[in-house]
Chain A
Amino acid sequence: MKRHLKPLAAAACVLVLIAASSAQAVVTSSPFAAACFAARRGCRVTVDPFTLQVPPGQHLARFQIGLGTSTVYDFHTDRSNPPSGSYTPTMPRLGFAARCSASATARLSAQDTGDGAPVILAETTSIVCPVPEPGALAQSAGAVLALITGCVGRRLARGKAR
């Protein structure tokens, strides 16, 4: 009986090692950092450049950037030539929309061709979006008011001309 046990134990060890190595084979990322700032219209989140490392033999299928519980960026790769090795995506220059005066964590998740679903690779601590400046609010309120008065004025002028 013991004779049979030895090869069985060896096979089990091999299977455990294979399972452990395949469990590690997910996309990894360089450190992930994000910031929130007040823009002309509302608040925005910018993400610092990062590099994704795809495990050998796999290709990058997609990555997502989330803010709180929402996905703000859903990125997909080429169907026939998805990237392998390392990939550094470019980020939208405008940044992503965020709610002012709210705080949320930003997270990066990615999926390679060997994964069934995106895996969370990195997460920031809670980012606080600033309270919009009263000046900015007054400015936008003023702009809206000017627009309304302009429209009303034009209508009145048109009415007089008739």
Chain B
Amino acid sequence: MRQLLAWLVLFLLLIAQSPPASAIYASPVQAGCYIAAANDCRVHVDPFTVYLASGTKLVTVRLILIQEGTGTQTTVYDWRPDLSSPAPSSGDTYSPSIPSQDLGVGCGKSFSLSLQGRDTGDSSDYNLGLTTAFTCPSTLP
């Protein structure tokens, strides 16, 4: 009986000590790179949805390109909500609009794309998704 109680206390202590889990998450992020014109490459991102912790609001959504080889990180999309009426206006999900002309990048390079976000319950940005590396075409077909 004592042993059982000791295990229970240990379990409760572990629960109390573990950091609170981030409730913000997103649907998978998928993206690709294409050539739109000579020396004009763009990254196209499929629509995604951000799921927030209940009762919180969205603070930021970022798309970050990580160049293969160098590891250089570039924010190519930085989304912010209305200060007085932050999104979502109702519910706990939000799907930001992706630019219809897509995101400009350098041709002939390889990148992976990271989706990062934060809600009002988070103290910092969380990585919500990451693609494997895709390669931008270098020349016109």
Query: Shortest beta-carbon distance, A116 to chain B, in Å?
Result: 15
Whether A78 sits at the interface, judged by CB under 8 Å, is: yes
Whether A32 sits at the interface, judged by CB under 8 Å, is: no
Q: Which A-chain residue is minimally distant from B35 (CB atoms)?
A: A97
Q: Interface extent on B, as a size class?
A: 20 to 34
Query: Shortest beta-carbon distance, B26 to chain A, in Å?
Result: 9
Interface string of B22-39 (1 = CB under 8 A from A): 000001111111111110
Query: Total number of A-B contacts with CB less than 8 angstroms?
Result: 106
- On chain A, the number of residues with a Cβ less than 8 Å from chain B's Cβ atoms is 36
Stretch at the interface among A6-14, A18-26, A67-75, A145-153: A67-75
Query: Shortest beta-carbon distance, B10 to chain A, in Å?
Result: 31
Q: Are A73 and B28 in contact (CB under 8 A)?
A: no
Interface string of A58-79 (1 = CB under 8 A from B): 0001110111111111111111
Chain B positions within 8 Å of A, measured between CB atoms, are 27-38, 40, 42, 44, 46-47, 100-102, 112, 129-137, 139-141
Chain A positions within 8 Å of B, measured between CB atoms, are 41-42, 61-63, 65-83, 89-99, 104
Q: Please list 28 pairs of residues, one from A and one from B, whose beta carbons are closer than 8 Å in the complex, sorted by A's number.
A: A41-B37, A62-B134, A73-B33, A73-B44, A74-B136, A75-B30, A75-B31, A75-B44, A75-B134, A76-B131, A77-B132, A78-B28, A79-B112, A79-B130, A80-B130, A83-B28, A83-B30, A89-B30, A89-B32, A90-B44, A90-B46, A90-B47, A91-B44, A92-B36, A93-B100, A93-B102, A94-B36, A95-B36
